[in-house]
């Protein structure tokens, strides 16, 4: 199996990124070139093109990783390949989004080159590439889609998950807490550490204490959201307990923000999970954009009497979809989902 190093942004890519950050253009990813040429690490930044290209393919899917990075997916097969080769180098090309000439945006080289065999007329071999690329501002990114490009595993899994939950059509709710929607957790309280953990395709924030204390500040960064209904689950651990003050009809005020700027408050319903007393839930709706959840404050604090793990927190983002395959595909190809 091929193993590749991280993508190195070329000088041309850095200039394109700077142009996008200044507001003078966007970044439009166009294609991948795969080569059997070997490059040294120190050569990559100055490259303007990848030599000895054996195959070229369109970008199948682009998704936002965080505010400054995206994940690109592409697939190549050997259906028209007359001679096999070792996949040593992958070049990523992009333009500024206005139809100008494309440039070599980034390059990644193999730590362990994979072999792409020639087509034998019987079985088709394929290689799938996942590239995590820095772009400066993920909102300024688009992708040139080839209608004949192959679907990636991510795209097929999304269609499957949406369409097959209700084969008769209609609408369903799909909860996105298992997706990569949380990126960072920041706590300003002394004696408290917070970090993102992942297992079995689920992510959550784990909060630990060095000593008995109260947690009164925790900010979770996520992808940008515009509207909808959201749930925050707070599981008390190690004897810690959530203390809530100022409840009015089982509701409280909760703060949201965009990059800690222009914070605003929403009214959240607060309740205890009916079958798990240690699991507290905050549910709220908003029509305004945000990408940060401000969880704890003086009116909702987590009190812990001993060191250790004191809480696990995750976010559920329900959205409604039509469940026919056609509608599932149409929705997933919407630019709001695939940038």
Domain identity same for 188 and 142: no
My answer on whether 139 and 258 are in the same domain is: no
pLDDT of residue 147: 44
pLDDT at 187: 84
Same domain for 15 and 145, yes or no, is: yes
Is residue 76 domain-shared with residue 166, that is, in the same domain? Answer: no
Q: What is the pLDDT of residue 280?
A: 93
Q: Are residues 278 and 204 in the same domain?
A: yes
Domain that holds residue 52: 3-150
Q: Are residues 101 and 29 in the same domain?
A: yes
The CATH number of residue 249's host domain is: 2.60.120
pLDDT averaged per 10 residues, the chain (length 339): 84 87 81 95 95 91 78 86 94 80 92 88 80 74 51 54 49 43 76 79 82 90 72 91 83 86 88 90 86 86 91 74 48 41
| Co-location of 301 and 331 in the same domain | no
Instruction: Give the pLDDT confidence score for residue 227 in this predicted structure.
Output: 66
So what's the pLDDT on residue 167? 45
Do 223 and 312 fall within a single domain? Answer: yes
230/92 same-domain check: no
220 and 197 within one domain? yes
Answer yes or no: do 293 and 238 share one domain: yes
> At 127, which helix (H) or strand (E)?
strand 126-134
pLDDT given for residue 43 in this prediction: 95
In the chain, the number of structural domains is 3
CB 20 within 8 A of CB 96: yes
pLDDT at 172: 41
Same domain, 125 and 233: no
Q: What per-residue confidence (pLDDT) applies to 143?
A: 56
């Amino acid at each position: 199996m091929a193993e590749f190093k991280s993508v190195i942004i070329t000088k041309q890519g850095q200039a394109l990124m700077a142009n996008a950050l200044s507001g003078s253009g966007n970044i439009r990813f166009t294609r991948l070139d795969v080569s059997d040429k070997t490059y040294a690490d120190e050569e990559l930044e100055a490259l303007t093109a990848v030599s000895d290209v054996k195959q070229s393919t369109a970008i199948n899917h682009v998704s936002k990783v965080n505010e400054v990075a995206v994940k690109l997916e592409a697939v190549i097969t050997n259906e028209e390949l007359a001679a096999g080769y070792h996949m040593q180098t992958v070049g990523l090309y992009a333009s500024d989004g206005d139809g100008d000439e494309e440039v070599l945006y980034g390059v990644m080289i193999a730590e362990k080159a994979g072999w792409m065999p020639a087509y034998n007329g019987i079985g088709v071999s394929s290689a799938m590439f996942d590239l995590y690329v820095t772009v400066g501002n993920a909102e300024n990114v688009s992708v040139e889609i080839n209608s004949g490009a192959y679907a990636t595993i991510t795209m097929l899994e999304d269609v499957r998950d949406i369409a097959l939950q209700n084969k008769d059509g209609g609408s369903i709710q799909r909860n996105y807490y298992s997706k990569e929607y949380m990126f960072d957790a920041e706590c300003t309280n002394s004696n408290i550490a917070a970090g993102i953990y992942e297992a079995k395709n689920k992510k959550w924030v784990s909060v630990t204490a060095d000593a008995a204390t109260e947690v009164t500040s925790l900010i979770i960064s996520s992808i940008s959201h515009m509207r909808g209904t959201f749930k925050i689950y707070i599981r008390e651990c190690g004897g810690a307990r959530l203390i809530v003050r100022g409840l009015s009809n089982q509701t409280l005020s909760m703060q949201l923000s965009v990059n800690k700027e222009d914070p605003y408050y929403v009214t959240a319903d607060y309740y205890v999970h009916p079958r798990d007393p240690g699991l507290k839930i905050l549910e709220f709706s908003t029509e305004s954009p945000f990408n940060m959840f401000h969880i704890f404050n003086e009116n909702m604090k987590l009190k812990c009497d001993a060191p250790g793990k004191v809480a696990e927190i995750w976010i559920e983002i329900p959205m409604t979809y039509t469940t026919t395959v056609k509608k599932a595909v149409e929705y997933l190809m919407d630019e709001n989902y695939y940038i």
